[in-house]
Amino acid sequence: MTSILTNIAAMSALQTLRTIGSSMEDTQGRVSSGLRVGEASDNAAYWSIATTMRSDNMALSAVSDALGLGASKVDTAYAGMESAIEVVKEIKAKLVTATEEGVDKNKVQEEITQLQAQLMSIAESASFSGENWIAGDAADVTVVSGFVRDANNAVSVKTTTYSLTDTADGTLLFGGDGAGGINQATGILGTSGGATIGVSVYELNISTFEGAEMAEALTLVDEALAAMTSAGAELGSISMRIELQEDFANKLSDSLDSGIGRLVDADMNEESTRLKALQTQQQLAVQSLSIANSSSEVILSLFR
C-alpha cells in the first residue's frame, strides 16, 4: 500500500542513516583520540584497569624523580668520602716518610697540616640540597628505593636507611655541633685515639714524635682509613642499588605504558578503514532516503 502519510521506505532509510551516523561518530572519536576505550561506557572493565595502571605509572614517575634525588645525595657523599680517603692515604705516606732517619718532621708536618685543612674543606663542601652525609649531626637518613603494589592491591613506597654515626669507626668524617655546624672533635677524623698520643687524625702533629709515638700515629691513620673505606663501600652499595632500581623503574614504566596501550588504544589502520567504509555507507543511505522520499512525488502524477 502506498500512503502519503506514512512512508515506510523513508523511515527505514532514515533509521539506517541514523545508525551509520552513530557509528561514524564513535569511529571518528577513536580516530581523533587514538583510544578505543576512552571512557567507562566504552568498556568498564578495561577502563578501570587502565585508570589504575595510569595512576601507578604517575606514582612510578614520581619515584623515579625521588630516586634521582637520592642518587645525587649518595653520589655526592661517596665523592667526598673517596676524596677524603685519598687525602688520608697521603697523610699515611707522609708518616711513613717521617719515620726514616734524618727526615725533618717539622717539614713533613707542614704538609700534613695542609692535608688536614683539605680534609675539613672536603667535609664542609660535600653537601647536596642542604644535606651533608659525611659531616654533621648523627642521624638516620633515608632515600626512596622503590614503589610497590602488593597482592592485596595496597601501594607503598620503599626506602633505604643509611646511618650517620660520629664515632671513630662510624660513617661521618666529622660530627655535628647540634646547630648545623661541624664538631672537629668527633667523627672518624675528629675522635681522639692512641694510648700515648691521644689525638685525632685531624689534630695530628708529629713534630715532636719519636719511634713509639710515630707507630701509634700510623696505626691511628690506618684505622681511620679502614673506617672510611667501610663507609665508602656502604655508600657505593646504596648507589648501586639505586641505579638498579632506576633502571627497573624505567623498564616497569615502559611495561605499564605498553599494557595500557593493549587495553585501550585504537588500531588506527582498522579505524581508518572502518571510517572510509562508513562514509561510503552514509552516502548510499542518503541516496536511499532521497529515493524513498521521491516516491511520494509519483503519487502526484496520478492526479494530473
Instruction: Tell me what pLDDT residue 294 has.
Output: 77
Whether residue 43 has pLDDT greater than 90: no
Q: Higher-confidence residue: 48 or 300? A: 48
Q: Are strands 135-136 and 174-176 parallel, antiparallel or unpaired?
A: parallel
| Contacts with 221 (C-beta within 8 Å, 6 or more apart), sequence order | 88, 91, 92, 95, 201, 204
For the domain bounded by 76-238, which CATH number is listed? Answer: 1.20.1330.10
Q: Higher-confidence residue: 187 or 62? A: 187
Whether residue 304 has pLDDT greater than 80: no
Average pLDDT of the residues in 18-43: 82
Whether residue 153 has pLDDT greater than 80: no
Instruction: Tell me what pLDDT residue 84 has.
Output: 95
**Which pLDDT band, with edges at 50, 70 and 90, does 117 fall under?**
very high
Instruction: Identify the top-confidence range among 15-24, 71-80, 150-159, 294-303.
Output: 71-80
**Which pLDDT band, with edges at 50, 70 and 90, does 261 fall under?**
confident
**Which pLDDT band, with edges at 50, 70 and 90, does 133 fall under?**
very high
6, with CB counted inside 10 A (0-12, 13-18, 19+), is exposed
Q: Higher-confidence residue: 107 or 144? A: 107
**Which pLDDT band, with edges at 50, 70 and 90, does 189 fall under?**
very high
Instruction: Tell me what pLDDT residue 12 has.
Output: 83
Average pLDDT of the residues in 141-157: 75
Rounded Cα gap, residues 260 and 253, in angstroms:
11
* Annotated domain spans of the chain: 12-34+266-294, 76-238
**Which pLDDT band, with edges at 50, 70 and 90, does 11 fall under?**
confident
Rounded to 5 degrees, φ, ψ at 132 are -120, 115
- Number of other CB atoms surrounding residue 282 within 10 Å: 16
Structure pTM?
0.75
